[in-house]
Amino acid sequence: MTSRTRIVVTGMGSVTPFGIGVQSFWNGILKGQSGVAAISDAKLSQWVPVAAEIKNFSPESFLPKKLVLDTDRFTQLALVAAMEAIGDAGFDSTSENPFGTHGESDRVGISMGSAFGGVQSLEAGAIKLTSSTRVSPRIVSKSIPNAAAGAIAMRYHIQGPSMTYATACASAANAIGEASYWLRGGEVDMVLAGGAECLFTPVILAGLRAAGALAVAGPEDLSRWSRPFDRDRQGMVMGEGAAVLLLEELEHAKARGAKIYAELTGYGASNDAYHETAPHPQGDGAALAMTRALKSAGLSPQDIDYVNAHATSTPAGDAAESLALRRVFGEVLANIPVSSIKGATGHMLGTAGAIESVACIKAIEDNLLPPTVHCDNPDDVAPPDLILNTPREQHVERVLSNSFGFGGQNGVLVWERSKYFDIRNN
């Protein structure tokens, strides 16, 4: 990032297996809780016994009835997360034009990530066609991957650039990173950036199982099936959720007296160019993305205080990331704490980079590093300083967050403490 334009986070929102809101998510993570349990839909249990689901989510409690009828679950999750982020940033999230006071609607952008979009609606339509020749007139608008971004734009009258990134598990990280270019180029003053995903459908779960990505066996305690870095891990556990950040140009944020959580200083992207689903075994692409993120932030490996790992609990993926970390950080890695929150949240795919960014920003805010849960026996190549089971108190200045996806897609973000955060809290 060669421009000196500075980008800060002024609002955050999330919907996760721990419930509605960033604080519910963060409290669950710090308590070492698990959002993983037996999957609630008996029809889906033939493909996966466990999942990290959002229980008791009632979109009608937050959204108009017609909007609920016209949207897929992944869009509903995104809308609720965006609502919290907008309100958290000091705007009126109940207004149809919340940004009108401090910036015209065309000075606000939307950058969302989603690996698949509204597959629940799409699959429901396909099933209906087995007994009928007609489907809902909303089937396309509900299922297209950019439906969440479009719904946010319409609900809040946002007329700036709106993009949706479908780079598998790196989608949200890429959405946040690519949004930084709009801000640095002066196209917008603010961007709602994040991800949303809900893939609890037969075709997706059956496909991921066939690809060998999902855990289909594990400990007797089902809540422990997602086990990043553990030598006995057997695969990822599917999760669902949404997370949205309000990214803002620093001077714009200062002018309106916004609270500031952290600064986005680095972004790196790459591709493994290796395999449709498997990562490069030596982590070549992952290492390249991390190196690019550090370079764009103007940092050296020893400047990083904490790494939030992608680590999905797949044998190949965790090992490749570990090797990439060892290559990039070298001997310094022994002194850098590393953890993955996916033992608690499962893998939210297109949301992962956004919710993990929330965890990184909260770590900076609270000086608490989130733990890796359910890792009883770290494998031989795992990072040497894994944060296991309980959070660690530590002052945090700079963190690096990894996201790697099918198709070799890689996105890495660097978040830093802002001096304006300290001013806000003094």
**Which helix H or strand E contains 174, and what residues bound it?**
helix 171-184
Residue 214, class by beta-carbon neighbours within 10 Å (0-12 exposed, 13-18 middle, 19+ buried)? Answer: buried
* 56 backbone dihedrals φ, ψ, rounded to 5°: 60, 35
DSSP reduced 3-state for 193: strand
Q: Which two tokens stand for residue 323?
A: 């090797």
Q: Residue 160 half-sphere exposure, CB side, CA atoms within 13 Å?
A: 24
> Could you say which of 169, 198, 360, 375 is catalytic?
169
Cα 290 to Cα 213, 267, 299, 301, 392: the distances in Å are: 24, 8, 11, 10, 24
Residues 346, 7: Cα–Cα separation, whole Å: 29
- How far from each other are the two terminal CA atoms of the chain, in whole angstroms? 30
Q: Which two tokens stand for residue 163?
A: 């993009």
395 is annotated as an active-site residue? no
Instruction: Report helix angle 202-210 to 119-128, nearest 10.
Output: 110
DSSP β-ladder status, 338-339 and 368-369: unpaired
Q: Which two tokens stand for residue 411?
A: 């996105």
Cα 131 to Cα 43, 123, 147, 402: the distances in Å are: 19, 14, 27, 44
338 within 8 A of 399, measured Cβ to Cβ: no
Residues 309, 210: Cα–Cα separation, whole Å: 25
Find residue 425's DSSP bridge partners: none
> Could you say which of 310, 360, 374, 375 is catalytic?
310
Phi/psi region, residue 373 (left: phi>0; alpha: psi -120 to 50; beta: rest), is beta
Q: What is the DSSP letter of 407?
A: G
275 is annotated as an active-site residue? no
> Could you say which of 252, 280, 347, 374 is catalytic?
347
Instruction: Report helix angle 22-30 to 352-366, nearest 10.
Output: 70
102 is annotated as an active-site residue? no
Q: Which two tokens stand for residue 302?
A: 């020893």
Find residue 308's DSSP bridge partners: 339, 401
* Residue labelled with tokens 């289909």: 216
Catalytic positions, written as ranges? 169, 310, 347
